[in-house]
Structure 1
Amino acid sequence: MSDQDSSRGRSAGAGDVRHDTFTIVRHLNAPPAEVFAAFADTEVRRRWAKLPGSGSAYHHEFRVGGGETAQGTFTVLDAPPERLDYRSRYLDIVPDRRIVYVYASTVNDVLRWTSLVTVQLDGDAGSTDLTWTEQVAFLTRTGDGSADLPHLRGATALRLNGLAVTLQPTETPGHPTSFTHLLDR
């Protein structure tokens, strides 16, 4: 998708911002401390939180006032490459319980959307219920905008599937890990 192609994307006017909210809940087979660490530890985070495409560069500083930046290029057949830019800032971090941050997503130098994300972790020594709530403002829509929220929600669900896989114990011979339970969420 190209933001310069007026038939596929358009900039929203001052009164043309679309606001949406969605929540995704995941039951993870890891204690809250491990789930929290998967957000905080940059090396672990790269296993599940990535930009699509190639040539991505990341910087992550997990602290209130810190944040993450990521840039990359996404290419699909018969379309020009898209330059992706992601920038976040952490507003509130309560170890093993809550992470609140804001982020902006830019495609080809056009600000597409901004979001406020709250990640809540509730659980015990054996498992965590993760609740991801995102309040998004779509500033530049794709076409009529009807696919924007499903696209963002779907990408977030895939990312959380990656988090679940990252938290799973490594596969041992004779005991393959099953990922089919991830597809139903």
Structure 2
Amino acid sequence: MSTPTTHASFSLERRLNAPPSRVFRAFSEHASKKKWFAGPPEWNQGESSLDFRVGGRETDVGGPVGGFVSTMHAVYHDIVENERIIYTYEMLLDGERMSVSLSTLELEPDGDGTLLTLTEQGAFFTGTAARDAAQVEGRKEGTNGLLDALKAYVEGS
């Protein structure tokens, strides 16, 4: 095998002071999602689309000014309003596929708020096991950052 594959999974939780319906809308409405699902402020935003339905697709492209281009293509496989979203996505760096993942997002009522659990199972292939391991840690860190941005958005809306 010329390019090694690293399989990894992780789960992240957030307790959000917002009802599941508000959290679900933050994922399902493009205008809402763009307010929290983004790269750092210094990044250029490229193509962005969201067709939120079973079989629908999402694309998000961006990257630092003068730097690399990160592309995410997702397909939605299962959606239960206010409860669950299951999707697959691939990540490309400068047009080269770096990973393919299956993500499950679960929303459970928690008093007046929501317990969000995100589980990701991925195949990472960047050329070496060491680079794949770094990519897995980077993905987890980036996903944590996005969930922090989601929390700020839904609790501030």
- TM-score, normalised by the number of residues in structure 1: 0.77
> How much does 1:124 deviate?
4.8
Letter in 1 for 2:2: G
Unaligned segments of structure 2, at least 5 residues: none
Larger RCO (alpha carbons 8 Å, 6+ apart):
2
The structure that is helix-richer by fraction is: 2
Compute the RMSD of aligned alpha carbons.
1.9
Aligned counterpart for 2:126 among listed residues 140, 153, 156:
140
In the alignment, structure 1 residue 30 sits paired with structure 2 residue 18: yes
The structure that is strand-richer by fraction is: 2
Corresponding residue for 2:117? 131
Aligned counterpart for 2:56 among listed residues 57, 63, 66:
66
Corresponding residue for 2:138? 151
Corresponding residue for 2:73? 87
Could you list the runs of 4 or more consecutive aligned residues of structure 1 that deviate by over 6 angstroms after TM superposition? none
Letter in 2 for 1:100: I
In the alignment, structure 1 residue 164 sits paired with structure 2 residue 151: yes
Distance in 2 of aligned mates of 1:34 and 1:20:
30
Q: 1:99 aligns to what SS in structure 2?
A: strand
Letter in 1 for 2:64: F
Distance in 1 of aligned mates of 2:100 and 2:25:
25
- TM-score, normalised by the number of residues in structure 2: 0.90
Aligned counterpart for 1:54 among listed residues 14, 26, 44:
44
> How much does 1:85 deviate?
1.3
Distance in 1 of aligned mates of 2:106 and 2:10:
14
Unaligned segments of structure 1, at least 5 residues: 1-11, 171-185
- Point out the structure with max Rg over C-alpha: 1
Aligned length: 154
Letter in 2 for 1:49: F
Identity over aligned pairs, percent: 32
Distance in 2 of aligned mates of 1:47 and 1:21:
27
